[in-house]
Amino acid sequence: MNNRLKSIITVTVFAVFLLSVSVLCLAMPDTTHSDSERRELAQFPKVTTEKLVSGEFSKEFESYTTDQFPFRDAFRSIKTVLAHKVLGKLDNNGLFTADGHISKLDVAINEPMMDHAAERFNYIYNTYLTGSNVYFSIVPDKNYVLAEPNGFPAMDYESFINKMVQKVPNMKYIDICDLLSATDYYYTDTHWRQENITDIASRLAHHMGVKLTHDYTENTLDVPFYGVYAGQYAGGVVPDTIKYLTNDTINNAKVSAYNDKGMLVESTIYNMEKAQGKDPYEMFLSGTMAVVTIENPDAAQERELVLFRDSYGASIAPLFLSGYSKITVVDTRYIQSEYLKAFVDFEGADVLFLYSTSLLNNSLAIR
Amino acid sequence: MLFSSITFLYYFLPIVLILYFAAPKSLKNVVLLLVSLFFYAWGEPKCIFLMLGTIALNYVFGILIEKAKTKQAKKIYLAISVIGTLSGLLYFKYAGFFVENFAAITGMSHLSLNIALPIGISFYTFQILSYSVDVYRGEVPAQKNIITLATYIALFPQLIAGPIVRYKDVAAQLVKRSHSFESAAYGIRRFIVGLGKKVLIANTLGELCQAFYATQDTSVMFYWLFAVCFTLQIYFDFSGYSDMAIGLGKIFGFDFLENFRYPFISKSLSEFWRRWHISLGSWFRDYVYFPMGGSRVKKPKLIFNLFVVWFLTGFWHGAEWNFVLWGLFFSVFLTLEKLFLTKPLEKSKIIARIYTLFFIIISFMIFSGNNAQEAFTRVGGLFGAGGIPLASAEALYQLRNYGVLVAIAIVGATPLPSKAYQYLKSKKTTSFFADIAEIIILLLILISVTAFLADGSFNPFLYFRF
């Protein structure tokens, strides 16, 4: 090919490509939310003199152009393929795949974050629970079972748990790590599967002196579940299926909840509206609720449980119902610990703090 | 605004190209100047006045230097313009450093200055100094058209990350330049190759560096892996920026000199500096080293000259002691090479290359630190200082994770890909396919870069301290 012809072709190809993408950038309508990444997308920034002078406008505009880029999800998938297949990367966006799972590379122990969580837990103990039987358990992230066997670096979970247990000396630690395997977690999400953790509920209850019965009907949600890692990973992902357990005790339970605005609302153990939403896992206890009270009118004995928890606790809480007349589920990410007295009755209750390593290692949200 | 951003590629650049090529010849510099000022103001709205002031100062004094009747008057005008120009750099880049060190020595810990460094100030200051000095030396006439001079300084392709373009190299093109499909196609090629080097290779290697900074699992192996990746990252990032600048310049009709010529194939550190950041090295050579007498002086003076030049070269890269150490590290080795090492190194190419690469890597460990202490820690880490283990689980994983990329980067840092392409081009049977493949590969690189940018992948700007 002579040089001039090749040059004309080169210039034409790239001029057409550049201009076409530019026109698409300008012409395509903006979207507000990314379902795959579960986040709000940047919008065209407001133009103010202060923002222009400070350079804030340009930063916001650059976020806007990236977030609103045409066919962004497709380009993100291309990037994932390139990172793995061309550049030979084993992980992408801090996530790795193993045994069909997507899991997070989480290697560093963040001790200041653990200190923050411990400070909040100890505050609750010293303020409301002195002298009570208080239990503490840690849910390891799924890379606990996936990383090392598949050649990925893992956090030193033994050290993490030992450190955390030492930071809350008034609580009795219940180890559940040995009961967990990869099949107990969703493939595309960080959480555990309710149908696979009845043994964990039994062990926790056993240590608190309660025997549970697990006689459930297994139900399957009829919507595909793309977990939190599916969008972050941005590769070809097969969706999970959510299963949830029911029986008469669960069906007859009376549920009320204080939401994150402090309003008392009627609720349900399984929120089927949330099940159809952007994050179907939120079907368990309706997701982000500050305080949820579950009453069991069929209970054989009057015994109460207060469960301090993160999102992992939402799916295990109903499994305690056969042993308790009332379960109060508290998420201190949505309620300040200082206000708990007005919402929670601790008198005579078993108290369990059940938190995941991922939250304890990044605990600023705990209030 | 970064070249490696959606905003630049799909908003700024197409508009600029349309405006530039639609404008009549007489207005092309005006268009370039206005878009360049917009480009600079986009990231540094307040600092644009400093740049405009520097341009105005050198414009006025350039004319005064030329018109001055006596040598002494020329010298005075030059001194004023140099001091005026350098004072901006000294204040914004170095005042905080001097105050901080003064406070540390005197124990006056309350003393501190928090001055934001205007982006690209070191590059455009050195460019404009070359203009004034060259006018003083009579090598170029003073530029009477302030638009032309301002276009030279503010020209967005090389404004924030170089290369440092000398006025005399582009003086003629600032007034009259030609545009052709051939030069535009060459410019596109260089720009996309540079973009790929920056986004696909340097940024991904940068992720390994971030993992190293965050790790709690250090080992000698991880230090070496970091050292190799950091060295390659800096090369691909910096040379990628230079490729993009040269490519954009070519599209607009300018011929910028090469800034990197495969520095890692050097057989001595002196050769490395003839291949690495060539525009900076030649600037110091022509405006500091040669005026001091260069190499044609007695040994003690030669050692002193090298010390001064490399102290300044290191300090130019950032107002921190590790950059000074980095410069002085080269001053020691370049002095040794000039005095003793050249002949022994010529005896064995293999030993020469190992020696060069080893000390390049050590030098970039010094460069990578945020201060002198960190620089020492990193160099020490390469040799197991502090009793760190030889290997760690994370290091082994990262070696597997980045092994392919490091191999690609090492091959890409040599002339091999270029030679392979030239070979295919030279054969009648493969020449046509090489041309087609080239266009397709360039398009694929651009799509890949777009995918990385749309994903919001790690995309640092490494020259914020320059």
Residue B114's pLDDT band (cuts 50, 70, 90): confident
Tell whether A89 lies on the interface with B, counting CB pairs under 8 A: yes
Distance of CA B180 to CAs A19, B187, B329, Å? 20, 10, 45
Closest CB to A17 among B403, B446, B448: B446
Model confidence at B110, pLDDT cuts 50, 70, 90, reads: confident
pLDDT of A266 strictly over 90: no
Tell me the torsion sign for CA atoms A49, A55, A59, A65. positive
Residue B104 scores a pLDDT above 90: no
Interface A-B: count of C-beta contacts within 8 A: 144
* pLDDT tens-digit map of B155-197: 999 988 889 999 999 999 999 999 999 999 999 999 999 999 9
Active site residues of B: 317
In this structure, are residues B356 and B272 in contact, taking their beta carbons and an 8 Å threshold? yes
* CA B328/CA B63 separation, integer angstroms: 37
A16 reaches B (C-beta below 8 A): no
Separation of alpha carbons B191 and B251, rounded Å: 9
Per-residue model confidence as pLDDT tens digits over A170-219: 999 999 999 999 999 999 999 999 999 999 999 999 999 999 998 999 99
> Distance of CA B462 to CAs B235, B455, B465, Å?
11, 20, 8
Of B180, B189, B455, nearest to A79 by CB-CB distance is: B455
Contacts of B455 in chain A (CB under 8 A): 75-76, 79-80, 93, 234
Domain ranges of chain B: 6-177, 183-454
Interchain proximity B454–A91, CB inside 8 Å = no
CB contact under 8 Å between A6 and B185, yes or no, is yes
Residue B284: closest CA among B297, B296, B274: B274
Judge: A1–B431 Cβ closer than 8 Å, yes or no: yes
B179 touches chain A (CB under 8 A): no
- In this prediction, residue B464 carries a pLDDT of 63
Residue closest to B217 by CA, chosen among A159, A146, A139, A266 = A159
Q: By percentage, how much of chain B surpasses pLDDT 70?
A: 99
> A79 and chain B: CB distance < 8 Å anywhere?
yes
pLDDT of B401 over the 80 cut? yes
B459 touching chain A per CB within 8 A: no
Q: Are A133 and A183 in contact (CB under 8 A)?
A: no
Residue among B6, B42, B451 minimizing CB distance to A58: B42
DSSP tally for chain B: helices H, then strands E: 23, 0
| pLDDT, position A106 | 85
SS3 at position A304: strand
In B, which residues are within 8 Å of A150 by CB distance? Answer: none
Other CB atoms within 10 A of residue B80 CB? 16
Structure token digits, residue A18: 């550049």
Flag if B451 and A25 touch (Cβ within 8 Å). no
Any chain A CB within 8 A of the CB of B443? Answer: yes
For residues A263 and A171, what is the distance between their CA atoms, to the nearest angstrom?
Answer: 31
Torsion of the alpha carbons at B364, B365, B370 and B373, rounded to the nearest 10: -140
Residues in A touching B444 (Cβ below 8 Å) = none
- pLDDT higher than threshold 70 for residue B415: yes
- Containing B456, the helix (H) or strand (E) segment is none
Q: Do B215 and A108 touch (CB under 8 A)?
A: yes
Q: A34, A37, A82: which to substitute to probe chain B, counting the most B Cβ within 10 Å?
A: A82
Residue in A38, A33, A103 with CA at minimum distance from that of residue A287: A38
A152 to chain B, minimum CA–CA distance in Å?
Answer: 6
pLDDT of A235 strictly over 80: no
Q: In chain A, which among 329-348 make CB contacts under 8 A with chain B?
A: none
Task: Identify the burial level of B411 via C-beta atoms within 10 angstroms of its C-beta, where 0-12 means exposed, 13-18 middle and 19 or more buried.
Answer: exposed
Query: Using CB atoms within 10 A of its CB, is residue A15 exposed (0-12), middle (13-18) or buried (19+)?
Result: middle
Q: How far, in Å, CA of A312 to CA of A210, rounded?
A: 21
* Dist. CA B140–CA B173, nearest whole Å: 13
Find the mean pLDDT for residues B98-112: 84
Q: Across the interface, which of A22, A65, A79 has its CB nearest the CB of B452?
A: A79
B107: left (phi over 0), alpha (psi -120 to 50) or beta: left
B24 inside 8 A of chain A by CB: no
Q: Which residues of B touch A83 (CB under 8 A)?
A: 204
CB A284 within 8 A of CB A314: yes
Q: Is some CB atom of chain B closer than 8 A to the CB atom of A94? A: no
Residue A262 has pLDDT above 80, yes or no: no
Distance from CA of A210 to the nearest CA of B (A): 41
Q: Please judge whether B397 and A153 are an interchain contact, meaning their C-beta atoms are less than 8 angstroms apart.
A: yes
Q: Please state, rounded to an integer, the average pLDDT across all residues of chain B.
A: 93
Question: What is residue A260's predicted lDDT score, i.e. its pLDDT?
Answer: 67
Of the pLDDT bands very low, low, confident and very high (cuts 50, 70, 90), residue B465 is: low
Categorize the per-residue pLDDT at A317 as very low, low, confident or very high, splitting at 50, 70 and 90. Answer: very high
* pLDDT (average), residues A143-168: 93
Contact B344/A at CB under 8 A: no
Q: What is the pLDDT of residue A44?
A: 94
- Decide: residue B445, CB within 10 A, 0-12 exposed, 13-18 middle, 19+ buried: middle
Q: How far apart are CA A53 and CA A33, in angstroms?
A: 29
Give the pLDDT of residue B421: 92
Put simply, the answer to whether B185 touches A11 (Cβ < 8 Å) is: yes
DSSP string, A61-99: HHHHHHHT-TTHHHHHHHHHHIIIIIS--SEETTEEEET
pTM to 2 decimals? 0.88
| Residue A258 confidence class, pLDDT cut points 50, 70, 90 | confident
- Asked if B218 and B446 count as a contact pair (C-beta separation under 8 A), the reply is no
Is A72 in the B-facing interface, judged by CB distances under 8 Å? yes
Q: What is the pLDDT of residues B418-457, one digit of tens each?
A: 999 999 999 988 989 999 999 999 999 999 999 999 998 7
What are the angstrom distances between the C-alpha of B126 and each of B46, B287, B288, B412? 21, 10, 12, 30
* Shortest CA distance from B3: residue in chain A: A62
- Are the C-beta atoms of residues B4 and B452 closer than 8 Å to each other? no
- ipTM of this predicted complex? 0.87
Q: Which of B42, B448, B453 sits opposite A66 (nearest CB)?
A: B453
Asked if A88 is an interface residue toward chain B (Cβ–Cβ < 8 A), one would say yes
A365 in contact with B, Cβ within 8 Å: no
User: Is the pLDDT at B466 greater than 80, yes or no?
Assistant: no
Per-residue pLDDT, averaged over B248-266, amounts to: 96
Nearest to B450 among A13, A75, A234 (CB): A75
Contacting residues of B for A98, CB less than 8 Å apart? none
Closest to A223 in 3D by CA, of A277, A183, A288: A277
Tell me the average pLDDT across B388-407.
Answer: 94
3 state DSSP class of B256: coil
Burial A34-58 (b: 16+ CB within 10 A, else e): bebbeeebbeebeeeeebeeebebb
**Is the per-residue pLDDT at A84 higher than 80?**
yes
Q: Assess whether pLDDT exceeds 90 at residue A301.
A: no
Q: Is residue B270 classed as helix, strand or coil in its secondary structure?
A: helix
pLDDT value for B345: 87
Q: Between B177 and B46, whose confidence is greater?
A: B177
A89 to chain B: which residues are within 8 Å by CB? 204, 401-402, 404-405
Instruction: Give the 3-state secondary structure percentages of chain B, helix then strand then coil, rounded to 5.
Output: 75, 0, 25
- How far apart CA B1 and CA B4 sit, in angstroms, is 9
Asked if B14 and A19 come within 8 Å (Cβ–Cβ), the reply is: yes
Residue B442 in tokens: 């360039």
**What's the Cα-to-Cα distance from B80 to each of B133, B140, B289, rounded to whole Å?**
12, 19, 21
B143 CB-contact burial (10 Å; exposed 0-12 / middle 13-18 / buried 19+):
buried
Contact across the interface for A21 and B450, Cβ inside 8 Å: yes
| A318-344 tens-digit pLDDT | 999 999 999 999 999 998 999 998 888
**pLDDT score, position B331:** 95
Which residue in this structure is represented by tokens 């952007």?
A278
Query: Any CB–CB contact under 8 A between B184 and chain A?
Result: yes
Domain range summary for chain A, segments of one domain joined by +? 3-73, 101-360
